[in-house]
């Protein structure tokens, strides 16, 4: 599939932000952990969620999904093995290892996949699982973990990891004693997961801070749970930078501005004006944008997933910017395509890129290298003069629901063709 974009169209209007992709995954995993009948609201209808549903269903779980509401009945699991083909292309599949290990005492899974954006090891997971009592082996490229009841531990993460924090937090809820996790990731999705677990009967405190304490329980009570996913931080940021790059006037609804503090501050330093309410952000077309330099960082710092949309906005800013990618080492290579479009950009090394603007972009034929760079290509195509064709848009579908329909409603000339 391809997107064909005729750039240069003014964009204005309202766009509703969907539920968090990276929030839905741990909620689905936690539903398996508790075994309770769970209804999850505000779940995005995207390819990665459909893949996760297939993985969960293959474990023997009853699942229904319609109108952004996901119902999960996980009272019985019938398999301890994650499907190899899906798991190898979905990084979030590893989040299912904690509940399956707890419920069945064993889990078998391949090395998880996802976007090709640099090294993504699972050493932290294995180290934490082993310290909590798991026995680990690798047989024919499949990881096997077995465990009786998890042991309560104090575990220090040598580096912050959102997914590893979530997995060890889930294990800690049914460990015998008090588990303390130190140097935890602090993303809103982690706080939300703790809220869900506590509603289900767990005792988690400190989520959203570097130290999380979990008082283990014997088992989760049998109850029905209804819970709402938070808005997607990355989709929100993507549309903010899209508006800045295209000099659009947009109002983002169904979002959480408190999760965008760093992004909104950055836009202000670029000379972009915004106004916010409890759940909306209005962004106004800037007369002139100023260059800024940025380092990506774990939350509450500037998100690595917003690095590429930001770079497109910086191509339209006055001056020289340096973007330093500190999380993944493979996220700058797409700048060569941006250079072909006429951008004054340079890859300084595997972690840093230089952008000098403003640049007049010209439409080109491109291929999505990963989810977030694919979204950046869409923004570049909307800015550029002429036609831009983006191939492999299925990669973009993994994280953005109905992106072309949302953009058309704002005045963009974009169509999907096979």
The answer as to whether 407 is a domain residue is yes
The answer as to whether 226 is a domain residue is no
User: How does pLDDT run across 259-282, given as a tens digit for each residue?
Assistant: 999 999 999 999 999 999 999 999
Is residue 418 very low, low, confident or very high in pLDDT (cuts 50, 70, 90)? confident
Token pair belonging to 190 = 């982690």
Domain match, 138 and 170 both: yes
Contact residues for 255 (Cβ-Cβ < 8 A; gap 6+): 17, 231, 236, 279, 280, 281
Inform me whether the pLDDT recorded for 119 exceeds 50. Answer: no
Domain match, 237 and 372 both: yes
Q: How far is it, in rounded angstroms, from Cα 247 to Cα 185?
A: 34
Mean pLDDT taken over the chain: 94
Token pair belonging to 173 = 């809820």
CATH number for the domain spanning 402: value is: 3.65.10.10
Q: Which domain holds residue 68?
A: 21-217
Domain match, 210 and 243 both: no
- 98's enclosing H/E stretch is helix 97-104
The answer as to whether 189 is a domain residue is yes
The structure's pTM equals 0.95
Q: How far is it, in rounded angstroms, from Cα 59 to Cα 80?
A: 7
Inform me whether the pLDDT recorded for 42 exceeds 80. Answer: yes
* Mean local confidence (pLDDT), 114-141: 78
Q: Looking at residue 113, what is its pLDDT?
A: 59
Domain match, 113 and 84 both: yes
Domain match, 106 and 81 both: yes
Q: Looking at residue 91, what is its pLDDT?
A: 86
Domain match, 206 and 293 both: no
Inform me whether the pLDDT recorded for 118 exceeds 50. Answer: no
The answer as to whether 225 is a domain residue is no
Domain match, 167 and 247 both: no
Q: Looking at residue 89, what is its pLDDT?
A: 82
Last residue of a domain, one of 217, 242, 275: 217
DSSP codes of every residue in 341-353 = TT-EEEEEETTEE
The answer as to whether 388 is a domain residue is yes
Q: For this structure, is 115 an active site residue?
A: yes
Is residue 121 very low, low, confident or very high in pLDDT (cuts 50, 70, 90)? low
Token pair belonging to 202 = 């767990």
Q: Number of folded domains in the chain?
A: 2
The answer as to whether 349 is a domain residue is yes
Catalytically annotated residue among 115, 167, 184, 186: 115
Inform me whether the pLDDT recorded for 115 exceeds 50. Answer: no
The answer as to whether 276 is a domain residue is yes
Domain match, 255 and 157 both: no
Inform me whether the pLDDT recorded for 114 exceeds 50. Answer: no
Q: How far is it, in rounded angstroms, from Cα 405 to Cα 397?
A: 12
């Amino acid at each position: 599939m391809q997107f064909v974009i005729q750039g240069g169209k003014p964009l204005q209007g309202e766009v509703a932000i969907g539920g968090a992709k990276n929030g839905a995954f741990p909620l689905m995993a936690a539903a398996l952990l508790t075994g309770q009948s769970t209804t999850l609201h505000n779940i995005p209808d995207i390819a990665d969620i459909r893949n996760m549903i297939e993985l969960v269903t293959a474990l023997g779980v009853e699942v229904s999904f319609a109108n952004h509401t996901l119902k999960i009945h996980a009272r019985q699991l019938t398999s301890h093995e994650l499907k190899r083909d899906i798991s190898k292309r979905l990084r979030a599949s590893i989040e299912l290892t904690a509940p399956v290990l707890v419920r069945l005492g064993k889990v078998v899974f391949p090395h998880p996949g996802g976007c090709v954006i640099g090294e993504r090891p699972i050493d932290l997971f294995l180290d934490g699982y082993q310290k909590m009592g798991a026995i680990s082996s690798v047989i024919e490229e499949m990881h096997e973990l077995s465990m009786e009841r998890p042991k309560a531990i104090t575990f220090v993460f040598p580096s912050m990891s959102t997914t590893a924090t979530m997995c060890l937090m889930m294990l800690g809820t049914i460990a015998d004693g008090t588990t303390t996790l130190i140097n935890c990731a602090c993303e809103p999705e982690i706080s939300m997961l703790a809220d869900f677990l506590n509603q289900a009967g767990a005792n988690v405190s400190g989520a959203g801070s570097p130290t999380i304490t979990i008082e283990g329980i014997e088992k989760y009570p049998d109850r029905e749970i209804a819970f709402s996913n938070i808005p997607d931080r990355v989709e929100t940021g993507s549309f903010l930078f899209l508006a800045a790059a295209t000099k659009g006037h947009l109002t983002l609804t169904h979002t959480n501005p408190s999760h965008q503090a760093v992004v909104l501050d950055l836009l202000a330093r670029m000379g972009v004006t915004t106004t916010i309410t409890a759940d909306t952000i209005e962004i106004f077309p800037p007369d002139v944008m100023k260059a800024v330099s940025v380092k990506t960082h774990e939350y509450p710092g500037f998100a690595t997933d917003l690095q590429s949309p930001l770079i497109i906005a910086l191509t339209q800013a006055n001056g020289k910017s340096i973007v330093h990618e500190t999380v993944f080492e493979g996220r700058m290579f797409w700048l060569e395509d941006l250079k072909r479009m006429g951008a004054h950009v340079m890859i300084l090394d595997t972690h840093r890129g230089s952008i000098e603007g403003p640049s007049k972009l010209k439409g080109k034929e491109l291929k999505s290298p990963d989810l977030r760079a694919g979204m950046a290509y869409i923004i570049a195509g909307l800015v550029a003069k002429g036609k831009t064709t983006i191939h492999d848009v299925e990669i973009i579908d993994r994280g953005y629901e109905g992106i072309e329909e949302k953009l058309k409603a704002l005045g963009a000339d974009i169509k999907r063709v096979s």
